[in-house]
Structure 1
């Protein structure tokens, strides 16, 4: 049986956006939510996956499927470091080998290449990351993770009925602040023009120069600030900003959008701040919850649901530079995956 016949993902697998994502790392769960005793069901790029831990605690991400009779492994359990199918009790070890068929315990276990299908899984920053095929980019890095002067807070997950790429592009767009986040991140009756900024690309992804904006409720303390944002896109569904409100104070956000399918995503955040030690967890989360709920309403309204990678499909202006370069980068990643060694030249028909 061909693997692609197991599920109908509802996503055209030959489209550039899918191709750009299938060989990338994506957050799919919090590490603490995958126990040693119970498997966890998640969905990535239209595929149903099962997360589980073997006897050493190592995380695994497989198709949520037992090739014996097609049952969901996520409904089973983990015994003695092996995952057990809920239907007939077949067990599999961390290598994917079938170790036990209870109805025939003395029989040599069947070959497992048609029974289970393994994907790639790693853990970092308290998250489980998965990739459907061998990932071609490394796990992204949160620069402040090992800096004890920064307090780290998990926010979310936020469930959007929207495309993950639309959600990430919204995250790296500063020009929506006065309108979507009125009186928090900008003034709707006095929106300030954004000065021209630059975007560079290196082996870690895309990076903007500083973008300066006035914000009347600029951080978790509720005070006005002039913020200077620097954005990075480390992977197609992982982005980051560093927000300076002076030479010392900084507010950083590590953003991940799980592409559940083409029209749904889950947003996971790590917020890192080195100011306001008196701030409570509730205060920090209240601001994040407000901002991402405001974003959700807009991103869910965007049409088409999937991010257009054709540069002529939507209008662009100078302040869209980072989003424009993000789309170009995704297109290149997708083209490289669809036709290795035969990159189409990206059409640069729009002046920004």
Structure 2
């Protein structure tokens, strides 16, 4: 099983949006699953995200069905209460002022917020959360889109997001057209912000939904694009239109288990902010739904063994990503 490789535990994965934790005065814990393990996530007394195994240290009740008040998480079974970094601050049955046993504290894991998302790393991080420098540029707005569950492997998803050969087939109802069948030669290179991948130019379909996103009229529209990878399962797509509009997409695939994943995408745009965010991402959601429909019909985990499947020049980015992922899990 891929998720049993310990090396994957040393990397960051988005599991929820920051807004899923509620707002001050109305906080809530959430339960998530990452690499086969259940975790509870909440916002602590200092406002920072706390994550720990979703089991109370007392009698292993799921803490995600508990409550949060003033940043402290209370177990619904016996009222044991946990604060910053999972520290147990109250055992009601022992009375006030009594010492808390050392084993009462939760073994918290690494948790951070970035780009409106909650990211977890179960073990000592071996790297940073992928860099998106557009997030600190005031000329760009960020649009979050929610977190969905896909019944497919994160390996299948990452392979798909690195691939452009499926555009003319899977995305016929959005931007695909017959001119997208043949893929030009792909040259892999370092991109900006630590991403690795390839740049290309393409003419895509521009239906009503596409025109809303591109801000241009006409049956087709020209895009300068790049597709980049960040181990283990994150992909960035940049779209630059001839009008000067940029549309940047962070595509995140998080393994719940070997064949189920969280999916979320985040968009950055340097538009005039006049079009409502929901209208902007409607087109991208349609594209994602096309990918989901296809991937949920492909069983199992994508083999990392390159000899297990056939590949051609158009698959160059995915072949390199699989090579790097295989080397990562072999450590």
TM-score (norm 1): 0.83
Task: Give the superposition deviation at 1:192.
Answer: 4.3
List gaps (5 residues or longer) in structure 1.
Answer: 1-10, 337-352
Task: Give the superposition deviation at 1:202.
Answer: 8.7
Q: Is the 8 A contact 1:81 1:93 kept in 2?
A: yes
CA–CA distance in structure 2, aligned partners of residues 170 and 55 of structure 1:
40
Task: Give the superposition deviation at 1:298.
Answer: 0.9
CA–CA distance in structure 1, aligned partners of residues 267 and 89 of structure 2:
43
2:263 to 249, 262, 267: 267
Structure 1 segment 258-297 matched on structure 2, within 5 A = 258-275=254-271, 278-297=274-293
Q: Is the 8 A contact 1:207 1:230 kept in 2?
A: no
Task: Give the superposition deviation at 1:117.
Answer: 2.4
Q: Is the 8 A contact 1:59 1:123 kept in 2?
A: yes
Q: Is the 8 A contact 1:155 1:268 kept in 2?
A: yes
DSSP 3-state at the match of 2:84: coil
The C-alpha deviation readout for 1:247-267, integer Å capped at 9, x for no partner, is 723221111122111111121
Q: CA RMSD in A?
A: 2.3
Q: Is the 8 A contact 2:197 2:229 kept in 1?
A: no
Task: Give the superposition deviation at 1:55.
Answer: 1.2
2:33 matches 1:33: no
Task: Give the superposition deviation at 1:184.
Answer: 3.0
Q: Is the 8 A contact 2:231 2:325 kept in 1?
A: no
CA–CA distance in structure 2, aligned partners of residues 247 and 328 of structure 1:
37
The C-alpha deviation readout for 1:77-122, integer Å capped at 9, x for no partner, is 223432211111112232433222211125421112x653221101
Q: Is the 8 A contact 2:234 2:251 kept in 1?
A: yes
Structure with the higher fraction of residues in helix conformation: 2
Higher mean C-alpha deviation, range 84-93 or range 129-138: 84-93
The C-alpha deviation readout for 1:105-155, integer Å capped at 9, x for no partner, is 25421112x653221101111111001111101011112112222232222
**Distance change (3 Å), C-alpha of 1:288 and 1:202:** closer
Give the aligned length: 320
1:193 match: 182
Q: Is the 8 A contact 1:91 1:98 kept in 2?
A: yes
2:101 matches 1:110: yes
2:227 to 217, 231, 244: 231
2:171 match: 181
Q: Is the 8 A contact 1:205 1:232 kept in 2?
A: no
CA–CA distance in structure 2, aligned partners of residues 244 and 270 of structure 1:
16
1:349 match: none
Higher mean C-alpha deviation, range 270-279 or range 146-155: 270-279
Q: Is the 8 A contact 1:77 1:84 kept in 2?
A: yes
2:319 to 292, 301, 324: 324
Q: Is the 8 A contact 1:39 1:52 kept in 2?
A: yes
2:199 matches 1:210: yes
Task: Give the superposition deviation at 1:38.
Answer: 2.2
Q: Is the 8 A contact 1:157 1:267 kept in 2?
A: yes
The C-alpha deviation readout for 1:210-231, integer Å capped at 9, x for no partner, is 2222202255246411222211
1:172 to 162, 173, 179: 162
CA–CA distance in structure 1, aligned partners of residues 275 and 42 of structure 2:
36
**Distance change (3 Å), C-alpha of 1:84 and 1:21:** same
Task: Give the superposition deviation at 1:204.
Answer: 6.4
TM-score (norm 2): 0.88
CA–CA distance in structure 2, aligned partners of residues 273 and 295 of structure 1:
22
Structure 1 segment 1-352 matched on structure 2, within 5 A = 11=1, 14=4, 18-35=5-22, 36=24, 37-105=27-95, 107-112=98-103, 116-182=106-172, 184-188=174-178, 190-200=179-189, 206-217=195-206, 220=213, 221=215, 223=218, 224-246=220-242, 248-275=244-271, 278-303=274-299, 305-336=300-331
Task: Give the superposition deviation at 1:288.
Answer: 1.3
List gaps (5 residues or longer) in structure 2.
Answer: none
CA–CA distance in structure 1, aligned partners of residues 275 and 166 of structure 2:
27
